Every structure is written in C-alpha cells, then in structure tokens.
Amino acid sequence: MTEKSNILTKAGILIIDDDPNLRKTLSDILGAKGYETLTAKDAAEGLSLVRQCSFDVVLIDLGLPDIPGIEVLNKVKASRPSAEAIILTGNATLDSAIEATNKGAFSYLQKPYDVDQLLLHIKRAVEKREADRKILLQSTELKKINTELRVLYTKANFSSLHDPLTGLANRRFLEVQLEKHYAAAKRYGQLLSVIMLDIDHFKLYNDTRGHVEGDSLLVRFAQTVLETVRTADYVFRFGGEEFLVMLPGTDRDHACMAAERLRRVVESEAGVTISIGVSSFSADIATKEQLIENADKALYEAKNKGRNRVEAWPCG
C-alpha cells in the first residue's frame, strides 16, 4: 500500500523499523502474500500512522532511534487496543521478551529471524484479529436480541410468562427466547447450549414431607440456580421438578462445567441432588426442539447411571 488509507480492504500491517532495506523487503514480501502494508522509519512516524489508520498487526523494532520500542508498544495498544503487535529485535533477552508480552505484544522474534516464521506469527495474529471481530459482531447481535427480548418482556403480562410458584420464566417464555437464540446460532454460527435439570427423587420428597414442603424446596432450588448461573443465562421452570437453563455464547465443554458447578452448589445449599443433561447447538441439529430433546436424552442417561451426575449429548 503506497498511500495512507483509513480503510484497509485487506489485512493491514504497519512496519516500524529504522532499517530501510528491511522495511522494503518486508513490505514486498507481505504485499506478495496479500497483505496491505505501510512503513515508518521511526516511532514518531509510526505512531502518527497508527492514529490515522486502523491496522491488524504492527511490527515494532525494539531498538528505534527516537523512542524505545516498549514505549511504542504501550502507545500503540493505548491508541488501537485491538491491533496485534509483534516485537522484532536484534538484542533479545528473556526479560525484554517477558516485558513485551506483559505489555500486550502478540509475539516476540529475534533478528535475524526466519521469514517463514515471521509470516506464521503474522498469520496467527491476523486470525486472532478476525476471531475478535467475529466475537464483537456476535456480541452486538446478542445485545440486539436481548434488547428485543426486554421490550417483549416489558409489554407482556408478567404472569403469562412466569411460573407463579418460583417466579421463573415458564415454557411460553422459553419458546420466545429459544426461537431468538436458536435463529442466531443457525444463521451466524453463535454458540448456544441448554442444561436440563431434574431434582432427584422429588416425588418421594413430596410424598413424605407434604406438598407445602415440596413447594418450598422448588422455590429454594429455583433461587439457588438463579444465583449460580451467569447474568447472561436464562432459567426456566420446564415442568414439575424439571428446570432448564439456556446459555448463549457457550460451547459444550463450558456448558458441562457450568452444569457441574450447578450440581455441586445445589447439593450443598439446597440439600438435594440433581441429575443434569447438557445439549449444545451444532450444524446437524435441525430444529430448536431437537436441542431440548437432546438435553432430555442426556438427562435420562444421567438418571440411568445413578443420578446426581452430569451427562452431555451425545452420551458416551
């Protein structure tokens, strides 16, 4: 890229180095690899470009003539927090590498470096920037969805969307929420998991202690679950002693970790054990109902294996 531009159509890379031959060589190599580049001979010129343009990656020579490279790194991250920085130096020490990493550098290479190695570091830095952009877009979409749901919640009659005993959202509200989040998962590839919970031997508890005590347990249980999950999660009374937690932006492994945390907390604070089934969205799930059905199958497996445990679909 020969002229300054505020909008880079490809991954943009800034090279800040006082060696003109190195700047030219790197710029040519990166250009041939499909990157857009700008170069700066010193920190002052480089920081000026950082303020004018948005870069994916900034290559910083640690030994610049006007400002130390670490200080340049600090200024780059302050001005463009999302930009990834790779430190290049001919006088590497373990302490300088640790300092650069602690200051936010993506990676650290000693001169003379292998060009293929540098290209690999740049490729990974660009991939991280792309992943960060995707997460930001997903977060924006989730905020939009949550805003729509809050509007719906405000307009709707509270009692029609909530369980009168526990105060939790009911299955009608679950349908609304699940439709929104399932659509986002299907369209944008956003993560989505559900956890199905069942209080172990609740019928026996109800029969021996009475319905009043049984209702009291359900209320305590619901409150415990609400206090344990994240604020971004949704808790529903699915029916009887069954409850469902929907976890937007959560993959299978993290959903299982959340489920295990719930199991331990409930046993400790509510005085009962629970069986849990976990299901996560994947490309082969054709309907939102299948997501729930898979969680229910995993819950059934947890009961078959002795209760008071977590199982995730597909069970194995």
Active site residues: 241
Q: Tell me 70's DSSP state.
A: H
Instruction: Find all residues with CB under 8 Å of 49, minimum gap 6, and list them.
Output: 4, 14, 38, 40, 55
By the 10 Å C-beta count (0-12 exposed, 13-18 middle, 19+ buried), 246 is classed as buried
3-state helix, strand, coil in the chain (%, to 5): 55, 20, 30
Site of tokens 């700066």: 40
Residue 104 CB neighbour total at 10 angstroms: 15
Question: Number of C-alpha atoms within 13 angstroms, CB side, residue 182?
Answer: 17
Q: Are 128 and 11 in contact (CB under 8 A)?
A: no
